[in-house]
Structure 1
């Protein structure tokens, strides 16, 4: 079936993934915090400015870009959280078999922490994406209504 050398290579490769997964999760957490601040700025400054400018194409591009970033957070962070859960469980279960409970405890802590962090960032991304969709749809409808009225009365 599988040779012990191929299993060992796979185990080593997966073991090397934990640190990058944790760092990327931390980076996405920081990005989520920045996105929250940007969302407030969008709602109260950027979107009203775009509406008053009448540039629908520019607003659609901005909306697409901002919503894609929110969707990226909503999808990628939970996947990385799951990776951060599964990667330390292998060594943790091996430590349990050896009776080394301190290693198991550390592995379980990392597993739960990465899961929670990935889900938190995913929730933030999901909520921001939904809220942004609504804000930009309302702004575009308002701009379309202004253009329609301008065409009738102009």
Structure 2
């Protein structure tokens, strides 16, 4: 079983790097969304479009929030087996490398999770406020 688990380390690290890149991409997207896209949507008064877009963007960061820490944990646990085996043989350099990989993947996974969590909360607030502004601006006969 150990060889199979060890094979997973490189794909886990690659997936973790992808999730971190997506989290950083979402930070940039959120800045443009907050400063440009949401004010335009509110001005257009299209509540259905605001709901659709908000739901989609919140779901994206929710995935990052969940997947990032999971991949970080996998990247932590996978190298610990060989690292502990190396400790038993007195090979401290292998243990040091394994521990570095373990800690680095933990930090990156948590970073992605934090970014996703903060963006998710912020986007929920932004879209709720946008919908409130659209509703407040709608004529009394059009309000639900």
For the aligned pair, the TM-score class normalised by the smaller chain equals over 0.9
Structure-2 residue corresponding to 1:27: 18
Provide the C-alpha distance between the structure 2 equivalents of 1:150 and 1:58, rounded to a whole number of angstroms. 20
Structure-to-structure mapping, 1:85-104, within 5 angstroms: 85-104=76-95
Higher relative contact order (CA 8 A, sep 6+): 2
Deviation of 1:33 after TM superposition, in Å, equals: 1.1
Provide the C-alpha distance between the structure 2 equivalents of 1:56 and 1:13, rounded to a whole number of angstroms. 50
Provide the C-alpha distance between the structure 2 equivalents of 1:27 and 1:37, rounded to a whole number of angstroms. 15
Q: 1:67 aligns with which of 55, 58, 73?
A: 58
Deviation of 1:151 after TM superposition, in Å, equals: 2.7
TM-score by length of 1: 0.89
Structure-to-structure mapping, 1:13-24, within 5 angstroms: 13-24=4-15
Higher CA-based Rg: 1
Unaligned runs of 5+ in 1: 1-9
Structure-2 residue corresponding to 1:80: 71
Of 124-133 and 138-147, more deviation after overlay is shown by 138-147
Unaligned runs of 5+ in 2: none
Q: 1:137 aligns with which of 94, 109, 128?
A: 128
Deviation of 1:29 after TM superposition, in Å, equals: 1.1
Cα RMSD of the aligned pairs, angstroms, is: 1.1
2:141 equivalent to 1:151: yes
**Which aligned segments of 4 or more residues in structure 1 are displaced greater than 2 angstroms?**
149-152
TM-score by length of 2: 0.95
Residues 7-57 of structure 1 deviation map (CA, whole Å, 9 limit, x = unaligned):
xxx211111110011011111111111111110101011111111111111
Deviation of 1:150 after TM superposition, in Å, equals: 5.0
